């Protein structure tokens, strides 16, 4: 894809929030530096959240060689929401694209995302299309199949066409929308900063979209790491549930009968398309993820995470 020719000035801030990402951070940043987008209209803000490995030195080395303005900020383990907000507070562009340290962007990713969001001032957030990095093991491949839009039916396609919330990594945000809604909730300790901010932006009158701009994401490779990730998601959604005063679609997606049924349907769709026996692992895999999610949700309930919102009726 050829670089977009802009009549006006449209700048993009790439926000990369990382902690102990020495194994993947270089690939993530290099994929940003290799973009077809005009380098003079792009800046990179990296926020290191208290890494104890070589992450900071790797980023500093890349910054010294980069033709793109690259700034490095550090926090002391204050969490993802704080790191995201540091990007927002220091961005000098019209749009912000958040890139996770375990992501690799396609070369035209920024071009495509800017093209979509700049077409209409009502568009607040546009998510990219996630694909897994290949050859990473059974668990990672099941995650890739699960996230793929190639094996969906009715309700899932409707959710994708009219999302109520989006992930942060791989999404482009209108900076004015981020600031209009007060930015990220820095009280969020773990996950769900993405659901919270995109729900607020939608509530503020903006549209959420999913584009065809592709990026690759490194999925978890073991059941232990997968459990940790989804229990983390569940914990974050408990906070979101009490704060937003609404039933998040995740509670339905991860409700055991529904997740099992969808695992069976997706396995049939995938097997019919590929004839691969891995399809028959999708239902138990879905059940495992759902159990981890509810473990995190109920653990957060026991800890009272988000319960401060229970007595604030109607407060957002």
Residue 269 confidence class, pLDDT cut points 50, 70, 90: confident
Mean pLDDT of the chain: 88
Last residue of a domain, one of 220, 248, 265: 220
Q: How many CB atoms are closer than 10 A to CB 285?
A: 23
- Residue 10 — pLDDT band, cuts 50, 70, 90? low
Work out the burial of residue 188: count CB atoms within 10 Å of its CB; fewer than 13 is exposed, 13-18 middle, 19 or more buried.
buried
Same domain, 215 and 250: no
Which of 220, 240, 264 lies at the terminal end of a domain, its last residue?
220
- Output the pLDDT for position 3: 40
Does 16 share its domain with 44?
Answer: yes
Residue 312 domain flag: no
Residues shown for the chain: 316
Domain count, the chain: 2
Kindly report the number of other CB atoms within 10 A of residue 89's CB atom. Answer: 12
* Residue 203 sits in the same domain as residue 262: no
Average pLDDT over residues 258-266: 85
pLDDT (mean) for 198-219 = 93
Whether 15 and 130 map to the same domain: the answer is yes
Q: Print the domain residue range for 138.
A: 1-220
pLDDT at site 271: 87
Q: Which residues contact 279 (CB under 8 A, 6 or more apart)?
A: 145, 267, 268, 270, 271
Domain boundary among 189, 220, 251: 220
pLDDT tens digits, 104-114: 999 999 999 99
Residues 237 and 205 in one domain: no
Query: Residue 88 maps to which CATH number?
Result: 3.90.550.10
Residue 191 per-residue DSSP state: S
Across the range 177-206, mean pLDDT stands at 93
Average pLDDT estimate for 8-36: 90
């Amino acid at each position: 894809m050829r670089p977009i020719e802009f009549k006006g000035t449209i700048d993009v801030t790439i926000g990369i929030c990382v902690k102990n990402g020495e194994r993947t951070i270089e690939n993530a940043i290099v994929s940003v530096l290799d973009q077809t987008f005009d380098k003079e209209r792009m800046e990179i803000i990296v926020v290191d959240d208290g890494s104890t490995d070589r992450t900071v030195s790797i980023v500093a080395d890349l910054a010294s060689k980069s033709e793109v303005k690259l700034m490095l900020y550090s926090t002391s383990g204050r969490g993802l929401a704080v790191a995201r907000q540091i990007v927002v507070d220091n961005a000098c562009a019209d749009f912000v694209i958040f890139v996770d340290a375990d992501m690799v962007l396609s070369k035209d990713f920024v071009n495509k995302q800017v093209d979509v969001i700049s077409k209409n001032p009502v568009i607040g957030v546009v998510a990219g299309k996630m694909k897994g990095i290949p050859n990473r093991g059974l668990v990672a491949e099941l995650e890739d199949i699960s996230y793929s839009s190639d094996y969906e039916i009715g309700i899932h396609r409707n959710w994708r066409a009219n999302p109520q919330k989006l992930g942060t990594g791989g999404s482009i945000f209108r900076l004015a929308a981020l600031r209009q809604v007060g930015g990220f909730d820095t009280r969020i300790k773990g996950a769900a900063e993405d659901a919270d901010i995109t729900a607020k932006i939608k509530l503020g009158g903006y549209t959420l979209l999913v584009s065809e701009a592709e990026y690759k994401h490194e999925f978890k490779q073991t059941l232990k790491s997968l459990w940790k990730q989804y229990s983390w998601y569940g914990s974050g959604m408990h906070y979101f549930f009490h704060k937003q005063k609404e039933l998040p679609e995740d509670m339905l997606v991860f409700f055991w009968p529904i997740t099992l049924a969808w695992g069976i349907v997706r396995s049939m769709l995938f097997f019919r398309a590929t004839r691969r026996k891995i399809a028959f692992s999708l239902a138990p895999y879905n059940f495992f993820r759902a159990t981890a999610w509810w473990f995190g949700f109920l653990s957060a309930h026991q800890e009272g995470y988000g319960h401060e919102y229970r007595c604030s009726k109607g407060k957002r």
